[in-house]
Structure 1
Amino acid sequence: MLVGSLALLAGAFGFEHIAGLNPCEMCWWQRWALMATAFFAADALVLGVVARRKPAIAAAVTATAWVAVLALACNAGLALYHAGVELKWWQGLTRCTAPPLAGDAATMMADILAQPLVRCDAIPWQMFGVSMAGWNFVISFLLVGAASWLMLKPPKIVR
């Protein structure tokens, strides 16, 4: 989950900073969920190392890993919702957002007008007919399934 969420984040930021595709608000929702996934997955990894010396915290490792799975599942749900908005399956956001501004009215108006207009219902890039949000859903869904399967299967006891 850690590698997968970091790879998805790297792809998102790469599309933004290298390809020049600015994210919409729903893209940011997905990024926040991926950041939470990476945080909790890394935390579970560190706790897992500590648990080898202190077996009493093994339950904390499992709980933290499940929180990471939940965060990744939230990302998959957000990505599916975003892909549905892009495909006009349902209506998305009906408002525009902009970063907070400061200064006098003329400076604030110039800053507002300089911001790129990024619509959540537009598909800025796609591969094989699937948008970035669609690929995010597919990859996240598969990662959630794989992580859940690995966590639920009985451990092998090595003797």
Structure 2
Amino acid sequence: MTHALSHLSVRQWSLAGLAFCGLMMAVALGLEHIGGLEPCPLCIFQRVAVLAAAVVFTVAAIHNPRGRLGATLYGGLSLAAVSGGIAVAWRHLWLQSLPADEVPSCGPGLDYMMDILPLRDVVSMVLSGSGECAEVDFLLLGLSLPGWTLIGFLVLALAPLGVLLNACRERPRVEAPVETP
């Protein structure tokens, strides 16, 4: 099995990652629109990380670089997006683990902050957390949604790691010397 995985192309790894991004977004949108769960600002940031990874996977699948440089670039960019999602999900879980008296107060909505504040300040405020991000609205098998999202990002990380591992294993191409008459 590991031998078969080591021969997957950048396109194949990227399509697998893109499919998993689609699954993550389908679950998130289903929980929002069918389940009635309103996403908090940290949930929205996790969605942005999934979409950023999906964009990189899409471009990588279309391009399908054959060389080490292209594979490393796409693997690194998609791993950066997934790592950002892991960090936000981890932060979200941490906020949910705080005792009730240590939970930050609820702040303004994300739409309002985006309208009046610079992006840097919005990111800073959202990552500092708010009371609505500390609420546990849904549990499945004892895990909250950020816990499941963290697991999803860890599984998603397998795609860029597969691309990077294959890029490291690839032998550099050696061109035959040109003979002069």
- Normalising by structure 1, we get a TM-score of 0.72
Question: Percent identity among equivalent residues?
Answer: 23
- Alignment pair present for 1:131 and 2:144: yes
Shift of 1:147: 3.4
Residues of 1 paired with 2:92 and 2:58: CA distance? 27
Choose the corresponding residue for 2:165, options 142, 147, 152.
Answer: 152
Which structure 1 residue ranges, 5 or more long, are not aligned? 103-117
Q: Match of 1:115? A: none
Letter in 1 for 2:40: C
> Which residue identity does 1:97 align to in structure 2?
G
Structure 1 stretches (4+) deviating beyond 3 angstroms? 89-94
In the other structure, the counterpart of 1:107 is: none
- The answer on whether the counterparts of 1:82 and 1:92 sit within 8 Å (CA) in structure 2 is no
Checking the alignment, whether the CA contact within 8 Å between 2:89 and 2:150 is kept in structure 1 is yes
Partner of 1:21: 37
Shift of 1:84: 1.3
Q: Distance in 1 between matches of 2:158 and 2:96?
A: 25
Higher RCO structure, 1 or 2 (CA under 8 Å, sep 6+) = 2
Partner secondary structure for residue 132 of structure 2: coil
User: How far apart are 1:18 and its partner, in Å?
Assistant: 0.7
Q: Deviations 1:103-152 (Å, cap 9, x if unpaired)?
A: xxxxxxxxxxxxxxx81100111111111110110121132145314521
Paired amino acid for 2:29: F
Amino acid at match of 1:78: V
Give the residue type in structure 2 aligned to 1:7.
L
Q: Which amino acid aligns with 1:134?
A: G
Q: Which structure carries more helix by proportion?
A: 2
Deviation, 1:61, is 4.2
User: Any conservation in 1 of the 2:75–2:161 contact (CA below 8 Å)?
Assistant: no
Q: Tell me the SS of whatever aligns to 1:99.
A: helix
- CA 1:91–1:150: 2 relative to 1, 3 Å: farther
